[in-house]
Amino acid sequence: MRAVVYQHEEHEGVGLLGPALAKAGFTLVNRFRTTVRREDVDAELLVVMGGPMGVYEADQHPFLREELAILRERLANERPCLGICLGAQLLADAAGAEVFAGKNGFEVGVGPVRWTADGLKDSVIAGVRPRTVVAHWHGDTHKAVPGATLLASTDRYVQQAFRLGASFGFQFHLELTAKEMGRWLELGAEDLRQRGKDPVELKTQLPKLESAEKENTELLQRLAEHFAEQVR
């Protein structure tokens, strides 16, 4: 089984998701930015990762149009997709939801998401605690996805996770370890300061993410098994 991964930044890889997919029987096929291929429409799974660009910036990043076209066709054919951060926004756009710069500011750091009542009843999410500690790093959001089930929210942004058929979108980063988040904070330190965020203070939150890694890994494994079952 192939899991094609669209990656937009060298340091924004699959993290904890990679081993979960491999354990479920997937072989990961990485595509970096402009290497979208027509054959990706038929892959058993498509995973779209995050990135600093916005869905609405396709003029500057033409590969986004190619990714959206693949996502739209996969959704039309009910083939499973997983979107994380930018990937979730692309999936939302492909399903007909408007994506835009959030009015509630830049959401970054380690903090909880609140699972909705529907989320806690979802066959993949069920069994988690009502709140899960995750990594956040986004400024964009989207409107409700037509036909989708809202799975999670935060106080800052309502649209944090959704399920559309066999596909899932997560605005937050379940895949990030504390070590990887620390590297992101170092690489993005100057940008964070320009946004009024203190990288040093944000680093003090990393132990909370480390403590949540076991729980997040278990959730990612259930998600990977869900996608494997869809293929079977």
For residues 92 and 216, give the distance between their C-alpha atoms in angstroms, rounded to a whole number: 23
Buried b (16+ CB within 10 A) or exposed e, 58-73: beebebbebbbebbbe
Written as six digits, the tokens of 139 are 């400024």
Q: Yes or no: say if 105 and 139 are a contact pair by the CB < 8 Å rule.
A: yes
Q: How many CA atoms lie less than 13 Å away from 196 in the CB half-sphere?
A: 3
Alpha carbon 111 to its chain centroid, in Å, reads: 16
Q: Which amino acid, residue 119?
A: G
DSSP 169-209: EESSBTT--HHHHHHHHHHTHHHHHHTT--HHHHHTTHHHH
End-to-end CA distance of the chain: 10
Written as six digits, the tokens of 67 are 């990714």
Give the closest residue to 175 by CA, choosing from 53, 67, 21, 1.
21
pTM of whole model > 0.85? yes
Written as six digits, the tokens of 122 are 């979802």
pLDDT at 35: 79
pLDDT at 208: 98
pLDDT at 232: 83
Question: Running DSSP on this structure, what letter comes out for residue 40?
Answer: G
Dihedral angle sign, alpha carbons of residues 33, 213, 132, 187: negative
Buried b (16+ CB within 10 A) or exposed e, 164-196: bebbbbbbbbbbbbbebbbebbeebbeebeeee
Q: Domains (ranges, CATH) in the chain?
A: 2-231 (3.40.50.880)
Pairing type for strands 167-170 and 161-164 reads antiparallel
Give the closest residue to 71 by CA, choosing from 6, 7, 155, 18.
6
Tens place of pLDDT per residue across the chain (232 aa):
999 999 999 888 999 999 999 999 999 999 997 778 999 999 999 999 999 999 999 999 999 999 999 999 999 999 999 999 999 999 999 999 999 999 999 999 999 999 999 999 999 999 999 999 999 999 999 999 999 999 999 999 999 999 999 999 999 999 999 999 999 999 999 999 999 999 999 999 999 999 999 999 999 999 999 999 998 8
Alpha carbon 23 to its chain centroid, in Å, reads: 19
Question: Cβ of 124: how many Cβ atoms within 10 Å?
Answer: 18
Q: Which amino acid, residue 143?
A: K
Look at the block and give the residue holding tokens 């370890």: 177
pLDDT at 34: 72
